[in-house]
């Protein structure tokens, strides 16, 4: 019962903050309102994660995958936009479930920004990577079966990531959603979006097999 | 000098939440200017000497670009200055752009200050009690990163010395880095199992409720700081609630209110945003004085 | 008083064919210092893990483990200090176990402070754990287990990854907690030189069974009664090995002092010199360093300060030295991984920087890093070896043949289908060497090849390196294992303070050193100044001894 109540509270809280924010603040500070909404949308996942009785092995493995994807972001830093983070998050989700994927995604964003710079974009990155992981977890079995689907998911994830982050760019710069600027932002980030999508596809196709086998081996060897 | 960073993490966090929430939700040119100045002074006082020039070269152009872009996209306002491609560039949009830019740079500076002060261990201390599992994952990941970085360097060198680095083209580079990453995956997951065994060996998950230990202590000075910060915040909020801190650029630029409430608000927020800088200065002066006596 | 007892304990891992433990019986007294020894894979680790309930592996179990009347708490310290460290700050590491026990902050503060004082690590208290050296980390692991006040502490090869100095410090700390706090210590170890003199009893295991359990002094006698050439004899302290091979009367000596007294009692020779063997080598240099200077960063201090030495073709060259003396750096500079900012490094007469585009690493030079895990990137050993074939430019048709050949040469043919991380330390070292050798190097650089491997693996590695030498490979080995250097090297050199201090044949090299030398040399140096290994000492004794 308690679970359900808190779930409902959260389902209501997010839109309430958005609507309330829009009504309360005269100058249209949507950026901040969406920022709060982003933070709030992460909370139920965190709380669910806290409640679940997961073994310490699983927790440390998630920490490892988080550290690895952050490391990937660092290793590949010389190649702009070419980051294995999304791929690592998706692979984690495929083998450890959507929740683990969500945690890996959000925490990778949070932690790598301790190096690359923390800012108001952090909650958005957390939410986008987290959601990409969560959805991959839901699609785990088809993604494991079909390489084509995996590649498509990677490409889509790259585009979606760019779209979401551009919404934020526009809100942050204008204080409200300015379609003209959104279009301009999208157009200017086409090369980046393309690199995101391409790198996701490349990394997923290259690594899903070997990393997946390693994860499966660890799961059976140490029965997790 | 890191006087502010040495305060209790809860004080740091409350302070940042106060300043950032005002920056976010009470848009007003005076408050924006105050936040900008406070953030810049604090960053300058705590940052490395040599970096200041580089920082200025980053923030000043950003300020001007952010200020200039708005009037190109937004054509609201009643005072056209000139026409560009048949679209009016208005005074209101221009000033709104300046205000936006000030808010943007101010927020970035405060975020930088936040990153410098709120290190990962402070976050873990504050949120660890609330979410013990999450904080375990977070702290383990943070601990793994330097270890993994070192290991990945070792792996890279080992592979280079085995002659596995074929060429210098982009695909070769990606392939090489990919090989390092897959070696790292093998190693790190095996390592994770060992680490979790070490945790269980030290009683993690033994069923008892974990406590959270830290070296932070709430001292008298922290309480003074906290009350001062909350009092100033309350004053700003009170001023904001009177409506005297409402300000709009469109359709025509509003007036900067000079009512008693508004003046209180300006003063309180000015004091609030200068608090950490003042603390740094105070410590610097104390140290000077102390050294001169020795 | 008995603190724990193992009764008819058998254990089998899931899907494993054989039993890891067969019908073990063992009783441990309160306050005892017990050493578990035996070759890798004898079941030491399995036994220790079964004694610590939280770490019990999954599998088929029969028999039981009984704990003393007052339900003693059990602490556990593992092999790898890096993976044992679970947090990023020293103070948090110490507090972690107490947090798990749910103790309040004030209690934790006191206990942690007290423990830091006991171990003398107050100075490290606020440091980051990754700033610590291996020895400090392992000591910290011990401290953070002890802070939970266990009555029994189990240690699984805790000194495997440490250098000899840090290892003997660690054993001294164990002795201190055993003597001063009365904590029962059960220690699995393969390096017995320092451990045997301080232990109360030694339990020797073999194939999951307890072979014998008796005071360390009696182990040698019992083992030689079982089988005069028992493999385990090789792992015993040097004094015990000499005593055993000479079959001298009296108690078995365990320390250098006891060993020397025994020899001096039975042999009158003093200060003799063994003849120097002629060791032939080619005239041309395989590796030459001429006053090399190196530092990691512009403002960092120099790590190498004018290091110069020459390794002639066909020689096994051992570089010895303490931690942080610059041994590994020396090897990296020689391998062209780090660039010297002054001085000359040449391989087979050609400056390293003139080898372009990785040609240095093809059919020329290969480096086996300290941590063999760095070498593997695939899920079978075979896949890793094939990857190397591809990089070395071996044609597809020839790859299988080459892999088979190399695996046979190193005796790892049966391991090809295994996962690299399922191998023991010694097996992994050999597979890594096989991978490195596929590039057909003429100069092989090895960084601490004996780290974490037992006496038998060490012996076989020594044999392999000598075989490679016959095949014309020059080897440069960086190590702090003096016994291994004495046994394998043609020439030894000491690095100190970024310089090569002396390079000479092992005989002359160790005869000159009085501290940094093998235990056998320290035992016998009053008799034969330059006898280096146990075998040499025994041989000389049989030729000259028992004359008085």
If one compares B236 and B75, the residue with the highest pLDDT of the two is B236
What are C283's two structure tokens? 């005239």
- In this predicted structure, the answer to whether residue A3 has a pLDDT above a threshold of 60 is no
Three-class DSSP labels, C365-433: EEEECCCHHHHCCCCCHHHHHHHHHHHCCCCHHHHHHHHHHHHHHHCCHHHCCCCHHHCCHHHHHHHHH
Its pTM surpasses 0.90: no
* Per-window interface: B 7-26 vs C, CB < 8 A: none
Distance from CA of A160 to the nearest CA of B (A): 24
If one compares B70 and C35, the residue with the highest pLDDT of the two is C35
Arithmetic mean of pLDDT, C412-417? 92
Q: In C227-348, which ranges are continuous DSSP H helix?
A: 238-246, 256-266, 327-334
Q: How much is the mean pLDDT over chain C?
A: 90
- Subunit contact B70:A174, Cβ cutoff 8 A: yes
| Residue to test with chain C: of B164, B192, B216, B218, most C Cβ within 10 A | B164
What are C217's two structure tokens? 């002094």
Contact A222, A58 (CB under 8 A): no
Predicted local distance difference test score (pLDDT) of residue A21: 63
* Per-window interface: B 144-173 vs C, CB < 8 A: 146-147, 150-151, 154-155, 157-167
Q: Output the domain CATH number for residue A185.
A: 1.10.1760.20
Chain A residues inside the 8 Å CB shell of C378: 210
- Subunit contact C379:A223, Cβ cutoff 8 A: no
Predicted local distance difference test score (pLDDT) of residue C175: 95
Predicted local distance difference test score (pLDDT) of residue A105: 94
- In this predicted structure, the answer to whether residue C443 has a pLDDT above a threshold of 70 is yes
Predicted local distance difference test score (pLDDT) of residue A13: 66
**How many degrees, rounded to 5, is the angle at CA B24 between CA B22 and CA B25?**
70
- Subunit contact A210:C419, Cβ cutoff 8 A: no
Predicted local distance difference test score (pLDDT) of residue C548: 43
Closest chain A residue by Cα to residue B66? A173
* Contact A143/B at CB under 8 A: no
Chain A residues inside the 8 Å CB shell of C387: none
Identify the CA nearest to B138 among candidates A27, A65, C454.
Answer: A65
Distance from CA of C195 to the nearest CA of B (A): 24
Arithmetic mean of pLDDT, B159-188? 83
Distance from CA of B230 to the nearest CA of A (A): 21
Closest chain A residue by Cα to residue C377? A210
- In this predicted structure, the answer to whether residue A5 has a pLDDT above a threshold of 70 is no
- Subunit contact C378:A213, Cβ cutoff 8 A: no
Residue extents of the structural domains in chain B: 4-123+222-292, 132-201
- In this predicted structure, the answer to whether residue B83 has a pLDDT above a threshold of 90 is no
* Per-window interface: A 21-50 vs B, CB < 8 A: 25-27, 29, 32, 35, 46-47, 49-50
Q: Which chains touch B (3 or more CB pairs under 8 A)?
A: A, C
- Subunit contact A213:C379, Cβ cutoff 8 A: yes
- Subunit contact C58:A223, Cβ cutoff 8 A: yes
Contact C488, C315 (CB under 8 A): no
- Rounded to 10 degrees, the C-alpha dihedral C166/C167/C171/C172 comes to -30
Arithmetic mean of pLDDT, A98-119? 86
Closest chain C residue by Cα to residue B184? C377
Closest chain A residue by Cα to residue B145? A67
If one compares B224 and A21, the residue with the highest pLDDT of the two is B224
| C39-81 tens-digit pLDDT | 888 889 999 999 998 888 888 999 999 998 778 899 999 988 8
Chain B residues inside the 8 Å CB shell of C129: 143
**Total beta-carbon pairs less than 8 A apart between chain A and chain B:** 161
CA–CA distance, A87 with A154 (Å, rounded to integer): 7
* CA separation, residue C445 to residues A139, B8, B191, C344, C532 (Å): 48, 52, 27, 18, 24
Q: Which pLDDT band, with edges at 50, 70 and 90, does A15 fall under?
A: low
CA–CA distance, C317 with C250 (Å, rounded to integer): 39
| C452-499 tens-digit pLDDT | 888 888 999 999 999 999 999 999 999 989 999 999 999 999 998 889
Contact C204, C211 (CB under 8 A): yes
- Subunit contact B177:A75, Cβ cutoff 8 A: yes
* Contact B119/C at CB under 8 A: no
Contact C65, B177 (CB under 8 A): no
Three-class DSSP labels, chain A: CHHHHHHHHHHHHHHHHHHHHHHHCCCCCHHHHHHHHHHHHHHHHHHHHHHCCCCHHHHHHHHHHHHHHHHHHHHCCCCCCCCCHHHHHHHHHHHHCHHHHHHHHHHHHHHHHHHHCCCCCHHHHHHHHHHHHHHHHHCHHHHHHCHHHHHHHHHHHHHHHHHHHHHHHHHHHHCCCCHHHHHHHHHHCHHHHHHHHHHHHHHHHHHHHHHHHHHHHHHHHCCC
* Contact B189/C at CB under 8 A: no
Q: Identify the bridge partners of residue C212 per DSSP, sorted by sequence position.
A: C204
Q: How much is the mean pLDDT over chain A?
A: 83
| A40-73 tens-digit pLDDT | 888 888 888 888 877 889 999 999 999 999 988 8
Distance from CA of B155 to the nearest CA of C (A): 5
Predicted local distance difference test score (pLDDT) of residue A1: 47
Closest chain A residue by Cα to residue B69? A173
- B/e letters for C142-162, b = 16+ CB within 10 Å, e = fewer, are bbbbbbbebbbbbbbbbbbbb
Distance from CA of B152 to the nearest CA of C (A): 8
- In this predicted structure, the answer to whether residue A26 has a pLDDT above a threshold of 60 is no
- Subunit contact B183:C337, Cβ cutoff 8 A: no
Predicted local distance difference test score (pLDDT) of residue B72: 79
* Contact A212/B at CB under 8 A: no
Q: Identify the bridge partners of residue C213 per DSSP, sorted by sequence position.
A: C203
Query: Least CB-CB distance to A67: which of B144, B181, B199?
Result: B144
Arithmetic mean of pLDDT, C442-446? 95
Inter-axis angle of helices A98-116 and A30-51, to 10 degrees? 130
Distance from CA of B275 to the nearest CA of C (A): 28
When computed from its CA atoms, the radius of gyration of chain A, rounded to whole angstroms, is 18
Predicted local distance difference test score (pLDDT) of residue B19: 92
If one compares A59 and A34, the residue with the highest pLDDT of the two is A59
* Contact C388/B at CB under 8 A: yes
ipTM passes above 0.90: no
Helix (H, G, I), strand (E, B) or coil at B142: helix
- Rounded to 10 degrees, the C-alpha dihedral B268/B274/B280/B286 comes to -50
Predicted local distance difference test score (pLDDT) of residue C179: 94
| B189-207 tens-digit pLDDT | 999 999 999 999 998 887 7
What are C489's two structure tokens? 């090297």
Number of domains in chain A: 1
Predicted local distance difference test score (pLDDT) of residue C180: 93
Arithmetic mean of pLDDT, C368-378? 92
Domain that holds residue A133: 2-222
In the sheet with C491-496, reading across from the earlier edge strand, the strands are C365-368, C443-447, C474-479, C316-320, C491-496, C499-504
| B18-43 tens-digit pLDDT | 998 888 778 889 999 999 999 999 98
Q: Which pLDDT band, with edges at 50, 70 and 90, does C545 fall under?
A: low
Distance from CA of C418 to the nearest CA of A (A): 12
- Subunit contact A175:B152, Cβ cutoff 8 A: no
Predicted local distance difference test score (pLDDT) of residue C169: 92
What are B95's two structure tokens? 């000033």
Query: Least CB-CB distance to A222: which of B145, B149, B193?
Result: B193
| C238-250 tens-digit pLDDT | 999 999 988 888 8
* Contact A98/B at CB under 8 A: no
- B/e letters for A1-26, b = 16+ CB within 10 Å, e = fewer, are eeeeebeeeeeebbeebbeebeeebe
Distance from CA of A181 to the nearest CA of C (A): 44
If one compares C153 and A179, the residue with the highest pLDDT of the two is C153
Instruction: Give the DSSP letter of residue C199.
Output: -
If one compares B86 and A144, the residue with the highest pLDDT of the two is A144
CA–CA distance, B109 with B99 (Å, rounded to integer): 15
CA–CA distance, B12 with C273 (Å, rounded to integer): 72
Omega within 30 of 0 (cis) for the link into B151? no
- Subunit contact B211:C388, Cβ cutoff 8 A: no
* Contact A218/B at CB under 8 A: yes
* Contact C452/B at CB under 8 A: no
């Amino acid at each position: 019962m308690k679970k359900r109540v808190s779930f409902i509270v959260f389902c209501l809280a997010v839109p309430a903050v958005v609507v309330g924010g829009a009504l309360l603040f005269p100058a249209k500070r949507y950026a901040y309102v969406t920022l709060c909404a982003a933070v709030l949308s992460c909370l139920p996942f965190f709380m669910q994660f806290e409640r679940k009785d997961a073994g310490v092995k699983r927790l440390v493995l998630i920490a490892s995958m988080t550290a690895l994807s952050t490391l990937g972001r660092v290793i590949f830093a010389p190649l702009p936009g070419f980051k294995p983070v999304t791929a690592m998050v998706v692979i984690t989700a495929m083998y450890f479930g959507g929740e683990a994927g969500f945690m890996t995604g959000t925490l990778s964003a949070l932690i790598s920004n301790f190096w690359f710079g923390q800012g108001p974009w952090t909650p958005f990155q957390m939410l986008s990577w987290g959601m990409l992981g969560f959805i991959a977890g839901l699609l785990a079995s088809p993604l494991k079966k079909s390489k084509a689907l995996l590649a498509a998911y990677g490409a889509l994830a790259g585009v979606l990531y760019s779209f979401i982050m551009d919404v934020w760019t526009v809100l942050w710069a204008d204080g409200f959603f300015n379609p003209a600027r959104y279009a301009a932002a999208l157009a200017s980030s086409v090369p980046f979006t393309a690199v995101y999508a391409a790198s996701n596809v490349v990394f997923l196709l290259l690594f899903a097999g070997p990393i997946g086998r390693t994860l499966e081996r660890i799961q059976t060897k140490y029965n997790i | 000098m890191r006087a502010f960073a040495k305060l209790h993490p809860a004080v740091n966090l409350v302070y940042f939440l106060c300043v950032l929430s005002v920056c976010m939700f009470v848009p007003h040119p005076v408050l924006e200017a105050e936040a900008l100045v406070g953030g810049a002074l604090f960053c300058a006082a705590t940052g490395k000497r040599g970096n200041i020039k580089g920082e200025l070269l980053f923030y000043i152009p950003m300020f001007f670009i952010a200020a200039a872009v708005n009037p190109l996209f937004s054509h609201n306002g009643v005072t056209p200055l000139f026409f560009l491609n048949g679209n009016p560039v208005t005074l209101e949009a221009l000033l709104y752009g300046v205000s936006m830019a000030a808010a943007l740079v101010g927020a970035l500076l405060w975020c930088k200050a936040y990153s410098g002060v709120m290190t990962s261990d402070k976050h873990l201390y504050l949120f660890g009690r609330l979410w013990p599992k999450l904080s375990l994952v977070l702290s383990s990941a943070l601990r793994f990163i330097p270890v993994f970085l070192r290991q990945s360097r070792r792996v890279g060198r080992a592979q280079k010395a085995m002659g596995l680095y074929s060429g210098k083209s982009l695909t070769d580079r990606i392939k090489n880095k990919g090989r390092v990453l897959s070696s790292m995956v093998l190693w790190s997951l095996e390592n994770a199992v060992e680490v979790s065994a070490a945790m269980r060996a030290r009683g993690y998950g033994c069923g008892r409720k974990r406590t959270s230990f830290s070296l932070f202590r709430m001292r008298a000075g922290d309480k003074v700081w906290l009350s001062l910060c909350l009092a100033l915040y309350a004053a700003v909020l009170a001023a904001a609630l009177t409506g005297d801190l409402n300000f709009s650029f469109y359709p025509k630029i509003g007036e900067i209110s000079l009512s008693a409430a508004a003046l209180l608000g300006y003063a309180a927020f000015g004091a609030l945003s200068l608090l950490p800088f003042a603390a740094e200065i105070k410590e610097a002066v104390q140290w000077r004085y102390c050294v001169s006596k020795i | 008083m008995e603190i724990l007892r193992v009764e008819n304990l058998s254990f089998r891992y899931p899907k494993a064919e054989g039993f890891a433990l067969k019908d073990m019986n063992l009783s441990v007294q309160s306050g005892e210092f017990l050493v578990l020894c035996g070759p890798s894979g004898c079941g030491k680790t399995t036994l220790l893990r079964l004694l610590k309930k939280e770490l019990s592996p999954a599998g088929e179990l029969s028999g039981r483990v009984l704990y003393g009347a007052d339900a003693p708490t059990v602490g556990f310290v593992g092999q790898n200090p890096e993976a044992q460290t679970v947090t990023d700050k020293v103070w948090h590491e110490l507090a972690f176990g107490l947090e798990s026990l749910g103790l309040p902050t004030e209690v934790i503060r006191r206990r942690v402070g007290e423990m830091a004082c006991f171990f003398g690590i107050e100075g490290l208290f606020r440091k980051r754990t990754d700033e610590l050296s291996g020895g400090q980390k392992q000591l910290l692991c011990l401290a953070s287990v002890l802070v939970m006040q266990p009555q029994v502490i189990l240690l699984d090869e805790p000194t495997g990854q440490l250098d000899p100095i840090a290892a003997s410090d660690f054993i001294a700390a164990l002795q201190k907690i055993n003597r001063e706090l009365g904590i029962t210590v059960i220690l699995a170890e393969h390096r017995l030189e320092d451990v045997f003199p301080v232990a109360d009893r030694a339990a020797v295991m073999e194939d999951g069974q307890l072979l014998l359990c008796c005071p360390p002094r009696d182990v040698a006698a019992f083992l030689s009664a079982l089988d005069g050439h028992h493999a385990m004899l090789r792992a015993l302290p040097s004094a015990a090995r000499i005593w055993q091979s000479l079959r001298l009367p009296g108690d078995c000596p365990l320390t250098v002092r006891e060993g020397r007294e025994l020899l001096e009692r039975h042999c009158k020779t003093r200060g003799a010199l063994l003849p120097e063997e002629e060791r032939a080598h080619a005239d041309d240099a395989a590796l030459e360093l001429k006053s090399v200077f190196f530092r990691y960063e512009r403002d960092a201090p120099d790590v190498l300060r004018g290091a110069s030495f020459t390794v002639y073709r066909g020689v096994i060259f051992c570089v010895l030295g303490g931690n942080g003396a610059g041994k590994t750096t020396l090897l990296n500079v020689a391998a062209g991984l780090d660039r010297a900012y002054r001085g000359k490094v040449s391989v087979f007469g050609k400056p390293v920087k003139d080898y372009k585009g990785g040609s240095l690493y093809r059919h020329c030079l290969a480096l086996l890093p300290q941590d063999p895990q760095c070498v593997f990137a695939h899920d079978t050993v075979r896949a890793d070896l094939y990857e190397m074939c591809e990089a070395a430019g071996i044609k597809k048709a020839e790859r299988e043949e080459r892999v088979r050949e190399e695996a046979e040469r190193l005796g790892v043919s049966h391991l090809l289908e295994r996962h690299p991380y399922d191998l023991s330390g010694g097996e992994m070292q050999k597979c890594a060497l096989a991978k490195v050798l596929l590039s057909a190097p003429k100069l092989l650089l090895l960084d601490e090849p004996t780290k974490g491997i037992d006496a038998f693996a060490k012996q076989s590695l020594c044999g392999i390196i000598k075989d490679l030498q016959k095949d014309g490979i020059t080897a440069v080995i960086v190590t702090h294992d003096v016994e291994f250097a004495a046994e394998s090297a043609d020439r030894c050199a000491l690095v100190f303070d970024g310089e090569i201090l002396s390079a000479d044949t092992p005989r002359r090299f160790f005869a000159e050193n009085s501290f940094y030398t093998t235990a056998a040399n320290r035992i016998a140096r009053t008799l034969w100044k330059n006898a280096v290994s146990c075998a040499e000492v025994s041989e000389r004794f049989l030729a000259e001894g028992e004359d008085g």
